[in-house]
């Protein structure tokens, strides 16, 4: 199995957001993936503004905003109509490794994908499997919400016994911006899909 | 003060003369008695409070100007020379008081190029008569305005203090005239009764014809190159295959989105689609 991350297919820069990921995916047996323990931090929903102490002091004091590392800008969490932050960045921890056994179908291709789930501060993985053209992926178990795709959909050909030849794209988060760019360069993004 | 007879003729004496010029160098006023009847043709006379000059002719569909006023000059005429008539009544402190005037004034006194305008002068706040309305000709072709009304209350129309065109019934139904839009700029939509803006478009054909089978593939989930701080807007398009009908974008997050294409065949090349994401 070739585990990859490319721009547009799993590789993402965090930009000005708190997005972070230390959870890794490895192939550990011919038909097995292992998701290593780690954490995932969501972006939340915020606006970035130049820091103006007279204006933003109350925002910081109330926890509805936070200063960025450069000390010149503030991240203000978007508020709902009651004034409460709608979605603050949150860290979810996958406490232990998870192993995923892959099984092919003798006659039909099988699709797999893996999502990160969250419940409270805990993270877990949700393995999705379907027979191509026959099944649909299932839904997360009750009480868990889908946080992010971790392993993007890949196909196992019929009868496959070793996934070494299969390309799998996984989520990878890199801090900051691509070299030579800044936040102003990424308000409009285009790409192939 | 005694009323003097004209040329010594006693009051209420009729004089019949086929042709006569009266040149009374010291004549100050002519006093008309009120016979309570309008004068006959060719006569000038009073009936009640009104002074009449009457002319009776045989016309049927033309206009006779029964009265003429001439105010010419011994000087050299120039633009703004005119002739007018003053209307007076009485106000609290003025008797008589100027109430209005109607002037006809030349804007061009050139030989063969004369242009004139009618000027209505009125008073405002006790000030002297001043021109408030002008109906002017424009270098020969002229200007005609017909104002008619049958209203039961005062109506006020305030014109902007600018030069511009007033819509007529040959122009009011032109979209560009209504919206003030330049050429090639279109407006779609209307407001409903609740004030909600409703978009509407006409499609052709009006009804779907035939039965088509639509195929859809699995969801594709691109990630953005850089995470947005808030969920962006995402639009998908750009695919060149003629049988791909479109794509539904869903599950948009700050880090990516999903989309599912649909088309009329199941073996088409679904590659080459492009997206644009707008956000901060």
Sequential DSSP letters for chain B = -PPPPGGGPPTT-----SS-----TT---------SSPPPTT-EEEETTEEEE------SSS-----------SS---TT-EEEEEEEE--SS-SSEEEEEEEEEEEE--TTT-EEEEEEEE-STTPPPEEEEEEE--TTT----------SS-------SS--PPP-TTTTT-HHHHHTPPTT-----EE-TTS-EE-----SSSS--S----EE---B--B-SB--SS--EEEEE----TTEEEEEEE---SSB-EEEEEES-SS---TT-EEEEE--
Q: What is the pLDDT of residues B144-193, one digit of tens each?
A: 454 444 556 666 777 777 777 766 656 555 555 555 666 666 655 555 55
- For the segment B219-243, the average pLDDT, to the nearest whole number, is 86
Question: B225, A149: Cβ pair inside 8 Å?
Answer: no
Q: Is the per-residue pLDDT at B230 higher than 80? A: yes
The C-alpha of A87 sits at a distance from chain B's nearest C-alpha, in angstroms, of: 10
Question: B229, A46: Cβ pair inside 8 Å?
Answer: yes
- Tokens representing B232 are 């962006």
Instruction: Kindly state whether B221 is in contact with chain A, defined as any CB-CB distance less than 8 angstroms.
Output: yes
Per-residue pLDDT of chain A (193 residues; tens, 9 = 90+): 689 999 889 999 999 999 999 999 999 999 999 999 999 999 999 999 999 999 899 999 999 999 999 999 999 999 998 989 999 999 999 999 999 999 999 999 999 999 999 999 999 999 999 998 888 888 899 999 999 999 999 999 999 999 988 999 999 999 999 999 988 888 888 887 6
**Backbone phi, psi, residue B233, to 5°:** -90, 135
Distance CA A19, CA A94 (A): 16
Q: Is ipTM beyond 0.90?
A: no
Give every CB contact of residue B233 below 8 A, 6+ residues apart in sequence: B252, B277, B278, B279
**Considering the entire predicted model, what is its pTM?**
0.56
pLDDT of residue B132: 82
Nearest to B226 among A44, A153, A189 (CB): A189
């Amino acid at each position: 199995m070739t585990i990859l991350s490319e721009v547009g297919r799993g590789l993402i820069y965090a930009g000005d957001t708190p997005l972070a990921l230390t959870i890794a995916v490895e192939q550990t047996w011919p038909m097995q993936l292992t998701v290593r323990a780690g954490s995932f931090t969501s972006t939340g929903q915020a606006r970035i503004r130049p820091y103006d102490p007279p204006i933003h002091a109350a925002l910081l004091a109330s926890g509805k905003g936070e200063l960025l590392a450069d000390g010149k800008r503030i991240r203000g969490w978007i508020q709902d109509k009651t004034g409460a932050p709608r979605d603050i960045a949150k860290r979810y921890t996958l406490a232990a490794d998870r192993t995923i056994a892959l099984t092919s179908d003798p006659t039909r291709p099988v699709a797999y994908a893996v999502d990160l789930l969250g419940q409270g501060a805990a993270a877990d993985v949700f393995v999705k499997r379907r027979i191509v053209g026959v099944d649909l992926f299932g839904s997360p178990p009750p009480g868990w919400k889908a946080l992010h795709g971790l392993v993007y959909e890949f196909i196992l050909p019929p009868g496959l016994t070793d996934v070494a030849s299969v390309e799998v794209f996984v989520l990878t988060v890199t801090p900051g911006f691509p070299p030579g760019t800044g936040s102003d360069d990424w308000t409009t993004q285009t790409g192939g899909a | 003060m005694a009323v003097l007879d004209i040329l010594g003729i006693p009051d209420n004496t009729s004089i019949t003369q086929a042709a006569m010029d009266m040149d009374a160098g010291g004549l100050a006023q002519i006093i008309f008695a009120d016979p309570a009847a309008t004068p006959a043709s060719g006569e000038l006379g009073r009936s009640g409070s009104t002074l009449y000059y009457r002319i009776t002719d045989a016309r049927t569909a033309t206009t006779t100007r029964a009265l003429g006023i001439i105010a010419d000059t011994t000087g050299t005429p120039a633009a703004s020379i005119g002739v007018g008539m003053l209307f007076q009544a009485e106000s609290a402190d003025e008797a008589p008081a100027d109430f209005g005037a109607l002037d006809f004034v030349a804007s061009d006194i050139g030989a063969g190029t004369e242009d004139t305008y009618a000027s209505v002068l009125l008073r405002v706040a006790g000030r002297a008569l001043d021109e408030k309305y002008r109906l002017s000709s424009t270098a020969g072709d002229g200007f005609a305005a017909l104002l008619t009304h049958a209203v039961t209350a005062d109506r006020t129309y305030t014109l902007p203090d600018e030069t511009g065109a007033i819509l007529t019934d040959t122009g009011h139904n032109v979209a560009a005239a209504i919206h003030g839009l330049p050429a090639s700029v279109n407006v779609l939509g209307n407001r409903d009764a609740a004030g909600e803006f409703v978009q509407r478009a006409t499609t052709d054909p009006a009804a779907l014809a035939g039965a088509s089978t639509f195929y859809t593939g699995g969801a594709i989930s691109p990630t953005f190159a850089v995470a947005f701080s808030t969920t962006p807007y995402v639009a998908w398009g750009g695919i060149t295959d003629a049988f791909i009908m479109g794509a539904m974008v869903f599950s948009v997050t700050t880090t990516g989105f999903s989309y599912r294409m649909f088309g009329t065949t199941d073996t088409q090349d679904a590659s080459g689609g492009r997206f644009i994401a707008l956000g901060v």
